[in-house]
């Protein structure tokens, strides 16, 4: 009720300001109808989307064969639009219309002949997207669940582990990530996953404190535990 009263007050204040143009009113209303937490959430969404974009580009550079499995004319930019555009498509025929973590099984299925990087990133971005209730921007009346954010961070940990450990019957990794070159280990993928996990965890803490809710902190083995619900 308090939030509703705030929004009503803001709208009335804008209506009384006859010197401001319609466009400016809309811009002011958009900005003023946000709490500090809403602005923080918006920034985290931009950050996690930027990291997802970086990860997608890096994976295709490391695994160029995967993009060649896609339809003719498909580029990395095409994939980025499919993964991060808004409103975001959540159904892809080439993935049997699987979305979120449900699409992950294709990335590690030896029988799957499609683009494994795309399946992986649909799993990652879809799962993160769900943790923000499929929104790209938050306002006062929009709710966000700290438990979903926390769960998404644990799921990212599990996905990172699977990338480094799931192999084909011939002993090859399904998708290449970190590597060693002349004795120097490239851990850029591991660091990027770490940043994504930290981003989700940090926001989970902020939201939990703001909403006075307790996060159910589940300690499970990444190797054997199932994915947590979002």
pLDDT in tens, 193-215: 999 999 999 999 999 999 999 99
User: What is the rounded average pLDDT for all residues in the chain?
Assistant: 88
- Are 199 and 47 contacting, i.e. CB atoms less than 8 angstroms apart? yes
Percent of the chain clearing pLDDT 70 (strictly above): 84
Write the pLDDT tens digit of every residue in 173-193: 999 999 877 567 789 999 999
Residue 28 has pLDDT above 80, yes or no: no
Predicted confidence at residue 33, as pLDDT, reads: 77
Q: How far is CA 18 from CA 21, 28, 30, 31, in A?
A: 8, 13, 18, 18
Domain boundaries, the chain: 1-29, 34-211
**pLDDT tens for each residue of 62-93:** 999 999 999 999 999 999 999 999 899 999 99
Using CA atoms, how far residue 165 sits from 174, 176, 178, 211, in Å, is 9, 11, 12, 38
- Which of 17-21, 52-56, 137-141 shows the lowest per-residue confidence on average (mean pLDDT)? 17-21
- Tell me what the mean pLDDT of segment 152-175 comes to: 97
d(CA 108, CA 106): 5
Predicted TM-score (pTM) of this structure: 0.85
Is residue 210 a contact partner of residue 37, using CB atoms and an 8 Å limit? yes
Instruction: Kindly report the backbone phi and psi dihedral angles of residue 181, in degrees, each rounded to the nearest multiple of 5, phi listed first.
Output: -130, 115
Residue 54 has pLDDT above 80, yes or no: yes
What is the Cβ-side half-sphere exposure of residue 204, based on CA atoms within 13 angstroms? 22
Report pLDDT digits (tens) over 146-159.
999 999 999 999 99
């Amino acid at each position: 009720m308090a939030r509703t009263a705030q929004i009503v007050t803001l709208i009335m204040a804008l209506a009384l300001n006859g010197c401001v143009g319609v466009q400016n009113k809309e811009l002011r209303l958009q900005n003023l109808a946000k709490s500090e937490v809403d602005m923080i959430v918006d920034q985290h969404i931009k950050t996690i989307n930027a990291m997802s974009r970086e990860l997608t580009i890096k994976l295709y550079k490391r695994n160029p064969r995967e993009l060649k499995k896609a339809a003719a004319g498909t580029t990395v930019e095409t994939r980025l639009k499919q993964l991060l555009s808004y409103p975001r498509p959540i159904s892809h025929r080439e993935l049997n219309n699987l979305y979120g973590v449900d699409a992950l099984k294709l990335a590690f299925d030896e029988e799957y002949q499609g683009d494994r990087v795309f399946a992986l990133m649909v799993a990652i971005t879809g799962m993160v997207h769900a943790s923000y209730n499929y929104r790209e921007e938050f306002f006062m009346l929009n709710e966000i669940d700290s438990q979903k954010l926390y769960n998404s961070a644990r799921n990212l940990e599990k996905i990172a582990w699977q990338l480094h450990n799931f192999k084909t019957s011939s002993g090859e990794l399904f998708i290449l990530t970190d590597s060693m070159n002349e004795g120097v280990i490239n851990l850029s993928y591991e660091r990027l996953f770490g940043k994504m996990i930290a981003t989700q965890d940090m926001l989970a803490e902020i939201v939990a404190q703001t909403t006075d809710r307790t996060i159910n902190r589940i300690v499970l083995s990444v190797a054997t535990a199932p994915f947590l619900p979002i």
